Amino acid sequence: MSGFDWPALMRAGMRGAGLAPEAFWRLTPVELLILLGVDPGRDQRQGPMTRAGLSALLAAFPDERRMTR
Of the listed ranges 8-12, 28-32, 63-67, the one predicted with least confidence = 63-67
Give the domain range for residue 35: 1-40
pLDDT band at 59 (very low <50, low <70, confident <90, very high): confident
The reply to whether 18 falls in a domain is yes
pLDDT confidence band for 1 (50 / 70 / 90): very low
pLDDT in tens, 13-56: 899 889 999 999 999 888 888 888 877 666 555 667 789 888 88
In a domain, 53, yes or no: no
In a domain, 57, yes or no: no
How many domains is the chain partitioned into structurally?
Answer: 1
pTM: 0.49
Residue 8 covered by a domain: yes
Residue 55: how many other CB atoms lie within 10 Å: 10
Q: Is residue 12 part of a domain?
A: yes
Which of 45, 17, 43, 1 has the alpha carbon at shortest distance from 9?
A: 17
Amino acid, single-letter form, for residue 12: A
